[in-house]
Amino acid sequence: MTQKKQKMIFDIFDIIIVIFIILGTILYISRKRSSTIKKKILNIFNKSTVDISKKPKNTRDIIQKIHDLQKNMVIFYGSQTGTAENFAFRLAKEGHARYGLSTITVNLEDYDYENLNDFPPEKLAIFVIATYGEGEPTDNAAEFFQFLQSENLTFSNKNVYNKPLSNLNYIIFGLGNSTYEYYNHMSRTLDTLLTKLGANKISKRGEGDDGTGTMEEDFLTWKDKMWEDVAKKMNLKEKEALYIPEFEITENLELSSFSDIVFLGELNKKHLIGATKPFNSYNPFIAPVTKSYELFFCKERNCLHIEFNIENSNMKYQTGDHLAIWPSNSNQEVDRLLSTLDLINKRNTVISIKNIDSTVKIPIPQPSTYDSILRYYLEICGPVSRQSLTVLAQFAPSEKAKKETLKLGLDKDYFRKTISSHCFNLAQTMQFITPKLWTKVPFSFIIECFTSLKPRYYSISSSNLIYPTKVHITAVVESQIFPEHNNILNGVATNYLLVLKQKQNKEINLRPFEVNYALNGPRNKYSNFHLPIHIRRSNFHLPHDTTIPIIMIGPGTGVAPFRAFVMERAEQMKRGKKIGKTILFYGCRYRDVDFLYKDEWNEYKNIMGDSFEMHIAFSRETNKKIYVQNLLEQNSFQVNKILECNGILYICGDAARMARKVNMTLHKIIRKERGLGKTEVDQVIKKMRNENRLFEDIWS
């Protein structure tokens, strides 16, 4: 190779090296700038959170956690709908405000409990435990109970017979519904388990009853005596209970509601940037409503049939599952609260929320706006808590208003007569107390006052065998009018669906108190009639063996899952399968007014023939009211015969007005037809439940 050629090659290499150096430098600078931009964005997203270096380390060791945080009271909660969680947070806040306790609330599923025997004896554990479904633990408490009830239970190398929890001082408040058979079953079970393990009960167990509508008052009555016992045990002195905020609220003038990092109702960060699969309870699917229509033939009441398309979601359901709908609050209630707080002109102001105590969870994605927080994230329409009024009094706009607010907060009879009997929410209560604006109320108090806006669950009324990519629901619209106050209590989700149905079908709203919603959703993401939804699995399913006979009892909208069941069995018969006896007991007021899916049942009968029977109770058509339990008793021989042949019984509907009476009738039928005593009947019913031959999907 000549010297000239070698020089040319080296020149080319030099040029290539220089080019790579330049490109590398540009890439490094651009990546650094990109990283800086990302950090700035993340800093804005995480502005509310405490510096990670200052946070306690993530751990599933609860003993280590309370030691690191120097807490002396731990409130554990098992919650399904948010009520138990709300009670737990209220206890933590009250303990700190009244007695100076260092408190922490703990989601039971976030920790392990093998070393619970090391719980310090000078500290206190409170368990706020809800019972869910048919005497089951809530989803977040299931593993905790599974651990405590395990056959080979051990605590840090100590077995159950050594009374390993002798250091644990505890208190329990249970949440249940007395219309259910297993009322407060989980709180009672926990009390028994802890006592057996040697733990020390400091105060009498409390029980709240949703069935009688006294949950809040049960809680307030219980906690007054409970705090006396705690103060005595821990040698505490009560101090003046002033409001201590859990959150620091900052108006962020650098951002506007048009900023693409501001949450305007999006449920999570995925929804902010564009929701992607998988879709579930943490990441709902924004589904199109493909069809909506009225099922009742009267002006006074509404019942809706709504169909959702889930074709592009990869979500699948089984006949009998539940559909969750994520609603929003009405324009009227959002405006009412904003106006009362004198925030109507600042509704679109962006705010950031910082937790003062790092263990307190911020319940709202943020930064957000005043309007979005009240519209999409908080249960502002729920009944006001009497306890919250004693704190609210500090911020009353006048001395007269302060005295009235305190009286309402302290006098439960006056509160019941004046506020709770009319189902006033917080804003309505404030307006009732005084027409003046409540300008001194910190927005942190508003956030702390409400639970998070939760999804509403509906029994799916379609069969996945026929509609694998569509979900039907059947929902009666909840409304209660109070003429003396020109007020109406609207169910949040069902009235949203009603307005959506009216808009979709270009109907006129004829209701006396018009209510409207932001149907287009945050940034128009729900436009053209979309809603965020997810599927919740249930155990309320048809048997795999299609020849097994079934009895279904479902008055009113309780018929929703049974429409799906009968629809599916009719389709199975069309496909050549043998179908067992399928009997439906249904009830409504009038055959020409509220007989749901009236024309469909004859179609199913034509397909299924003698395999399908339908017994209908029209409760208002004669002077003598007839209900489904009356029809059950009239057909007691057939009902008992099917149950003796290992048939399956399903009950769906209202717990207080129907399910309990149906269960009583079932006991009566078995006792009469089999000649058994009460104790023996109880054993038969228990065996049916254990063998998955008795299912209930009921609500209060």
- Asked if residue 659 belongs to a known ligand binding site, the reply is no
Handedness of CA 452, 453, 455, 458 (dihedral sign): positive
In angstroms, how far is CA 593 from the centroid of its own chain? 32
3-state secondary structure of 236: coil
Q: Is 467 annotated as a binding residue?
A: no
Tell whether 557 is in a known binding site.
yes
For CA atoms 627, 629, 630, 636, give the dihedral sign: positive
Instruction: Note the residue count of the chain.
Output: 700
In 3-state terms, what secondary structure has residue 553?
A: strand
Question: Is 493 labelled a binding residue?
Answer: yes
**Token couple for 517:** 């919603």
Q: Give me the half-sphere count of Cα atoms (radius 13 Å) on the Cβ side of residue 689.
A: 15
The answer on whether 673 is annotated among ligand-binding residues is no
Q: Does the annotation flag 59 for ligand binding?
A: no
Q: Facing residues of 15 across strands?
A: none
The first and second tokens of residue 194, run together, are: 């802890």
Report whether 170 contacts 192 (CB < 8 A): no
Which sign does the torsion angle of CA 571, 574, 576, 578 carry?
Answer: positive
CA distance 577 to 569: 9
What's the one-letter identity of residue 590?
Y
Q: How far is 499 from 508, CA to CA, in rounded Å?
A: 10
Is 161 marked as binding a ligand? no
Q: What 8-state DSSP symbol labels residue 658? A: I
Q: Consult the annotation and say whether 428 binds a ligand.
A: no
Radius of gyration for the chain, computed over Cα atoms and rounded to the nearest angstrom: 29
State how far the Cα of 629 lies from the Cα of 664, in Å rounded to an integer.
9
* Residue 184 annotated in ligand binding: yes
Q: Is 629 annotated as a binding residue?
A: yes
Place of tokens 């840090």: 156
The two structure tokens encoding residue 321: 């599952």
Contact criterion met (CB below 8 Å) for 466 and 568: yes
Q: Does 475 belong to an annotated binding site?
A: yes
Residue 474, marked binder = yes
**DSSP letters for 413-439:** HHHHHHTGGGT--HHHHHHHH-SS--T
Q: Is 627 assigned to a binding site?
A: yes
457 is in an annotated binding site: yes
Instruction: Check the annotation: does 607 bind a ligand.
Output: no
Distances (CA, A) of 14 to 9, 17, 217: 9, 5, 84
Q: Tell me: is residue 650 an annotated ligand-binding position.
A: no
Look up residue 441 and give its DSSP letter: -
Q: Is 183 annotated as a binding residue?
A: yes
DSSP 343-406: -GGGTT-EEEEEESSTTSPP-S-SSEEHHHIIIIIB-TTSPPPHHHHHHHGGG-SSHHHHHHHH
- Amino acid in the structure at residue 147: F
133 is in an annotated binding site: yes
79 is in an annotated binding site: yes
Q: Is 318 annotated as a binding residue?
A: no
Q: What is the residue type of 504?
A: Q
Backbone angles phi, psi at 488, to 5 degrees: -135, 135
Any binding-site annotation on 620?
A: yes
Angle at 447 between CA 74 and CA 280, to 5 degrees: 80
- Residue 218 carries which side chain, given as an amino acid letter? D
CA–CA dist 556, 477 (Å, integer): 12
Regarding beta strands 103-107 and 285-294, do their DSSP bridges make them parallel or antiparallel, or are they unpaired? unpaired
Strand, coil or helix: 694: strand
456 appears as a binding residue in the annotation: yes
C-beta neighbour count of 40 within 10 angstroms: 10
E runs forming strands in 133-176: 136-137, 154-155, 158-159, 169-176
- Consult the annotation and say whether 249 binds a ligand: no
CA distance 60 to 63: 9
Look at the block and give the residue holding tokens 């405000």.
97
Q: Does the annotation place 510 within a ligand binding site?
A: no
CB 287, CB 313: distance < 8 Å:
yes
Nearest to 196 by CA among 169, 171, 164: 164
- To the question of whether residue 625 is assigned a binding role by annotation, the answer is yes
> CA 281, CA 285: separation in Å to the nearest integer?
9
Is residue 250 part of an annotated ligand binding site? no
Is 248 among the annotated ligand-binding positions? no
Is 470 assigned to a binding site? no
Q: Is 84 annotated as a binding residue?
A: yes
Binding residue numbers for NADP(+): 301, 557, 619-620, 625-629
Binding residue numbers for FMN: 79-84, 130-133, 175-184, 210
Binding residue numbers: 79-84, 130-133, 175-184, 210, 301, 456-459, 474-476, 491-494, 557, 619-620, 625-629, 699
Binding residue numbers for FAD: 456-459, 474-476, 491-494, 699
